[in-house]
Amino acid sequence: MNADFQTPAMAAPAAATVIPTALARRWPKLLLALTLVGVLVAGLMLWLVADLRHSLAQAPIYVSINDFEVEPGMLLSQLSPIEQVFALAALAGSLLLVAVLVPVLLLLMVGGVVLAVLLALALGIGLPLLAVFGVLAVLASPLLLLGWLVWRLVRGGPAPAAPAAAN
């Protein structure tokens, strides 16, 4: 193959220059901030579990299945330490689940309301405007065609091409 002829694909690749974007420059700070938020939330959950352990230690727990009390008036302090940990972990998990699900459901509800309002506005305002512009386009099309034909007639034909110079 001819060494003088090279397509761009055959040429040696140029050194890639990396231009950092705003997000690429800030991602370490963003990651640090998210880590700190996660640590704070974990600490808050541990504090709540420890606080619940002390406040629930004297509160009676009633477990009933089909209105039959399995263990009437059981105290959290009567459970073994591992059972206390599991009971408080289940309570903390349910609190975390509620803390995550409630904002997500609220966001979905607000988004649905906003979408419904936008759809109502689009159908209530957009469709009548579209109908008006469609009728105006149909009514004005003969006038526009006539104007275009007169403009072509008045303007004349294209300018003649200049003769090619002979060498």
Number of domains in the chain: 2
Confidence bin at 138 (pLDDT 50/70/90): very high
Q: Is 15 helix (H, G, I), strand (E, B) or coil?
A: coil
Residue 15 lies inside a defined structural domain of this protein? no
Distance CA 42, CA 52 (A): 15
Give residue 85's pLDDT band: very low, low, confident or very high (50, 70, 90): confident
Residue pair 87/76 in contact by the 8 Å Cβ criterion: yes
* Rounded Cα distance, 89 and 1, in Å: 73
> Residues 144, 99: one domain?
no
Question: Does residue 5 fall inside a structural domain?
Answer: no
Q: Are 53 and 76 in contact (CB under 8 A)?
A: yes
- 86 in the same domain as 49: yes
Domain of 29 in residue numbering reads as 25-103
- Residue 9 placed within a domain: no
36-66 tens-digit pLDDT:
888 888 888 778 777 766 776 666 667 777 8
Q: What six digits make up the tokens of 20?
A: 């950092």
Residue 83 maps to a domain: yes
Share the mean pLDDT of the chain. 79
